[in-house]
Amino acid sequence: MFAEPTDWHTPWMQRVTPRIRRIALTHSAETIFTRFIPASRPGEGKGAWKSYYERWPSMTLERLGHKLVELVPELAALVPPAEVIDKWVYSPWMDTPLHRRLEERGTDTVVVTGSETDICVLATVLGAIDRGYRVILVSDAICSSADETHDASLRVYESRFDQQVTIATTEELLANWR
C-alpha cells in the first residue's frame, strides 16, 4: 500500500527496498518484518483510529484488498526464514508478539529500516528504546512520503537519542555486523 500508487504512496520505497532486501538477505533468519494492516472498513477502530479511517476510507482493506497489504515481493521472497508480524497501529510493540520473540532469541540490538521515518519508524524506535534495546537506524534504508519530516526526524534521532540510537548507512551496518 506504500509502494503502490495509493493515497499513502511513499515514492522513496523504490529507492530503499533494495537496501532493506540486502540487509535482510544477509541475516534473513534473524529478520522480522512488521506489516501495517489497516482497518477493514471506514469507521472501524478504537478512539481516534475510528475517525482516522473515516478520513482515509480509500486505505481500508475493503477498498485496497488484501494484496496491497502484503510485503513487497522482494521482501516477501525472504519469508521464511524471515518472519512477519502484523500490526494495526504505528507501533509494532503494542498487541504483537514482537518483544517476546526478540527476548526468546536473546536479542539486545534491533536494526530498523522501512517506512515512514516520521511515523512507523519513529514508533518502532521509541518502543525499542523504552524496552532497552540498542537501536541501529539505517539512514539510507528508511523513507517517508515527506522529505521535510524525514529530514527533521533524522535530526531528532541524531540530536535527542544519540545515547540510544546509532545511525548508520547500509554499507556501514553490513561492514560492522558481527
In a domain, 2, yes or no: no
88-106 pLDDT per residue, tens: 999 999 999 999 999 999 9
Distance, in Å, from the CA atom of 17 to the CA atom of 108, rounded to the nearest integer, reads: 25
In a domain, 7, yes or no: no
Q: Are the C-beta atoms of residues 59 and 8 closer than 8 Å to each other? A: yes
In a domain, 140, yes or no: yes
- Output the nine-digit C-alpha cell for 25: 538477505
| pLDDT for the residue numbered 123 | 98
Provide the CATH number for the domain around residue 31: 3.40.50.850
Q: How many domains would you assign to the chain? A: 1
What integer is the mean pLDDT of 54-72? Answer: 95
* CA dihedral sign of residues 139, 107, 31, 1: negative
What integer is the mean pLDDT of 140-159? Answer: 94
Phi, psi of 161 (to 5 degrees): -120, 25
User: Does the pLDDT of residue 66 top 80, yes or no?
Assistant: yes
- Output the nine-digit C-alpha cell for 124: 518502532
In a domain, 5, yes or no: no
The parent domain of residue 57 ranges over: 13-176
In a domain, 3, yes or no: no
In a domain, 46, yes or no: yes
In a domain, 101, yes or no: yes
In a domain, 6, yes or no: no
109-132 pLDDT per residue, tens: 999 999 999 999 999 999 999 999
- Output the nine-digit C-alpha cell for 154: 533524522
Q: Provide the CB-side half-sphere exposure for 114 (13 A, CA).
A: 25
Amino acid at 60: T
This model's pTM is above 0.85: yes
